[in-house]
Amino acid sequence: MEDAVDNFLLLVGAGFSPDEAVAIAVDAAEVYDRNRKARGAISGALGMLGCEIYSALCRTPDWERDPEAFALYRPFTAEALAGRLRRSSGAVGSAVRRLIEHGFIDKRREGRSFSIRLLVPRLALTEYGKSYAGTDAAPGTFAYEHYRPLGERVLRLFPPAAATR
């Protein structure tokens, strides 16, 4: 998990706006999950709910992108998030455990409760860069003009050789 600690700050330091960096983090989680989905399986490593929860945690209660979620530890309860997403607290807790196992969330115990901080694993960013840089869209299309350069920029920051997790 150590490799994920400052990756969000690296994105912002490389010229991405904090809102763009949050969008990249959410998309990177989805690419990471998709790349770990076994053939014929229903879900990947994070699961659909895991991706939904990561996306929700990256946003404020008003659903605005929240760059501070990557910088600060915040109190967390599965019940509060479950109410916000209209899911069961058991399903939310299970999905959060998967996010912790794969390095997307750092958890810190505080008494009987705990706080979380969001992370972006280097491997997820590398896979995101490969996926977007390798788009086979036709030149002149939005996918080619927007996503391909975006993927190439991220891939330059997080090359495949550096990805360890």
pLDDT tens digit sequence for 21-31 = 999 999 999 99
Report the alpha-carbon distance of residue 49 to residue 59 in Å, rounded. Answer: 15
CATH for 96: 1.10.10.10
- DSSP secondary structure of 81-145: HHHHHT--HHHHHHHHHHHHHTTSEEEEEETTEEEEEE---HHHHHHHHHHHHT--PPTTSHIII
pLDDT tens digit sequence for 45-62 = 999 999 999 999 999 888
Is there a domain that residue 136 lies in? no
Is there a domain that residue 64 lies in? yes
CB 81 within 8 Å of CB 92 = yes
pLDDT tens digit sequence for 80-110 = 999 999 999 999 999 999 999 999 999 998 8
Is there a domain that residue 139 lies in? no
pLDDT tens digit sequence for 123-146 = 999 999 999 988 777 788 877 888
Q: Domain limits at 101?
A: 2-122
Is there a domain that residue 32 lies in? yes
pTM of the model: 0.87
H or E stretch covering 52: helix 47-57
Q: What is the tally of structural domains in the chain?
A: 1
Is there a domain that residue 85 lies in? yes
Q: Which three-class secondary structure state does DSSP give residue 65? A: strand
